[in-house]
Structure 1
Amino acid sequence: MTSSHGTIFQQSVTLRLAAVAEGPVERDRLADGVTGALKITGAEADSVVDERTSTETAPITARIYDGIPAEDLAAAVK
């Protein structure tokens, strides 16, 4: 398996964990799930999760949350 395929697989596992979560999932909880699912270290899982939230997704996320007051966003996290 090439590292490119490995990355794709790791990303798909990460996306699946986020998709099956009941509601929003905190980053640390997602990284813990990736650690268990892929049997990798916490640092490796952090890297996988960070790749998913890279600059590629930042513009999309910004558009989704644009115009929502900060206090509403903070309340949604709780």
Structure 2
Amino acid sequence: MTAATAPTLNARVIALAHHAARTLAEGALDRHGITFHQSVTLRAVTVAGGSVPHDELVTEIQNSLKTTETIVQTVIEELLTAGLLTQEDSLLRLTATGRDLYETTAAATAEIAARLYAGIPAEDLAVAGRVLTLITDRANAELGTG
């Protein structure tokens, strides 16, 4: 493909890129016995410093994945049952096992991203980042989510 034959950015192009990359990521996650939703949830707790209020995590994951509260609650229960999170009152904490698993899977998915983005000029990645962020912001505004 050349610049002359590349399609203009549209919903289909975004969806195809998303699904292809997510399928690769899910393959890496599957090898470690974790789902995409579980990985996103562990990441959110990690980014929050290792602990986060239960309701705050539910809202964040619901907004990030555009899914239902019931699904997020199920994912949290799976992580608690697997010993990847613990709960004290309303605070969810990452366990050492959860942190290790997150770090392992984050490294695996970072390798995939590095391969996919290899050779793309930094300026192109910056433009794509700005455009996709703007599209996300507009869609979230219409959805009433953050």
TM-score (norm 2): 0.34
Matched with 1:48 is 75
Unpaired runs of 5+ residues, structure 2, are 1-22, 24-29, 92-146
Structure 2 residue 83 is matched with structure 1 residue 57: yes
**Alpha-carbon distance in 2 for matches of 1:11, 1:37:** 13
**Alpha-carbon distance in 1 for matches of 2:50, 2:42:** 14
**Alpha-carbon distance in 2 for matches of 1:52, 1:23:** 14
TM-superposed CA distance for 1:29, in Å, is 1.1
Structure 2 residue 43 is matched with structure 1 residue 16: yes
Instruction: Name the SS of the counterpart of 1:40 in structure 2.
Output: coil
Q: Choose between structure 1 and 2: higher strand proportion.
A: 2
**Greater relative contact order (Cα 8 A, min sep 6): structure 1 or 2?**
1
Matched with 2:52 is 25
Unpaired runs of 5+ residues, structure 1, are 62-72
**Alpha-carbon distance in 2 for matches of 1:23, 1:8:** 19
TM-score (norm 1): 0.59
Larger Rg computed on CA atoms: 2
TM-superposed CA distance for 1:27, in Å, is 1.4
* Structure 1 runs of 4+ with >2 Å offset: none
Instruction: Name the SS of the counterpart of 1:53 in structure 2.
Output: helix
Instruction: Name the SS of the counterpart of 1:25 in structure 2.
Output: strand
Aligned residues: 60
Aligned-residue sequence identity (percent) comes to 33
Alignment CA distance shift 1:23-1:13 (3 Å): closer
